[in-house]
Structure 1
């Protein structure tokens, strides 16, 4: 029986979407709940799965087409299971010839992250050993293939003519377009200023070194620096409510909760999942949430709910080696904290020059509602908590 494949109901803030990748073609056999197509919004990638065992009959909307909620994008025919469909395909073919096409089909069912990695390195999916569930190719398979020194096909490695000036034109993804729009909008609508400070990381590093093994054994998650900064940020937000506020028309909205966004890198760009009610979470809960967000970001599994809201953002450019930066506010928020790499630097303590692991902190804020005194005090409060982390536990 034929049925229609439709675009899922989109979130309230998402008007339309784009067909990103068809993983099946007309005539291909599909198993129930197998991913048929990736649909990209300006926030997340939605997977549309097969409603039953059967065959994809017709593709109505092609890759790159813009679609809206509940629009028909394909036709599907429920039918024989995978075990019944195999003999039909092999009636006129020797059994030895069946293995390779099956492998090619399974390797073709890849996530957008894997497909992008293949394209970047000019690799053929069928030439890589797949170890994922159901014979699917995983990101780790491709990375291991690259590390092993395997080369791309000769045609992909052909050198460009001497003196050639190559260009490559690639359409922007919806997420990248949305990021660009929001960043430009932030620059046009907010009066953004940035204040800086540096922080001695030795106290936090000493605690982490002393308790990291016991912490992991107890909570089954590693103790990182982010939980210290999230806790310190929440305490600073409590002292300076304007930093946790936002502008709505002619009103200032003061939020009585602390939803902290954590900027993380994904194959589709920078995304900011939100830790809800961070003030009510333990450090282990915060570390566990950040770890889950990182894994979901790499696998394009973040949901709209994960990315919606947030009253303040923390961005750690230090993971990429950044020494100093001026982070841009994530509207409608009024502030963002930028962390950077830690490096040994000479500082003066009690009249003596000593070497300490120092980190530059940057706080960008909307000067329309946050004054200079508040911005400096906010950043100084975070510095005080990090340099004396016992105050976080004692809530001083």
Structure 2
């Protein structure tokens, strides 16, 4: 079996020799191809120069991402594109054509990896720049994200290059798959919390500083880390929750409340006149509308209770602040008490009347017996 180095040297010699013969024997076609390659290269360089002028350094948003892609464009990639374009206009010898194709494949794979890396990291940075809190939270995660992105894009680039150069990458891909499964099983808890942290940072169900409620706990988010989220409970202690466990629960973001709903249920005595009963919904609506930052919803009779005629009053406080809601609810409650006192309406409370049975089984009201008893 021939020496691999010898085979490589023979191929290089054949390529150089064939290319030199083509240049010397068909110099017109060679010069024409070189001119086309030079024109394509100059045109691409001109486009990059124009893009740099239109996209200033330090631009934010999508313009900043586009500027990063332009800055990561390699000159060798432009040369490979120019040479590949020239080979479609002229007919170079086979060894030179294969050399240009291999160079183009390698350049495209490397350039694609650089562009993909810059695009992903640019999107992450753009997401973080939208909020200072997110930027602080992503600060510790950027290192891990960068490593993961580098590993993925360069592995893909290497596999693409080897495959296009004729190397059988089936065994390599299979080995990477088995290794990835083993690593994933060994560190599935860590990766679960890591991806949960990224989901929190990108999907933004809550941010640092938001007041959230989950399970039986309520508190303010202080820090979103790679593995845990730290929450300051209302009672003062710090709660540490794994990101995966936190996202498995229903989380209520209290900071995003736009308005608060207040429900007041009360009952009045059965002795209330029907005309007063019918007027109560209108009276309750008027009382609510007199309180600032409130929006009346409904006041309705809900049923006959054991000791009361039951009503339900529902209104909204249009300011999300909890203190405003508590003050409005108190103001409405006090107004109801004052107005009921003016109307002579009594609130109901649990009562029970006892009757005494006479010898013949008839029920006797004890108050009537005491009234008939001689003094």
Q: Which has the higher helix share?
A: 2
| TM-score with structure 1 setting the length | 0.17
User: Looking at CA atoms only, which structure, 1 or 2, has the larger radius of gyration?
Assistant: 2
Q: Which has the higher strand share?
A: 1
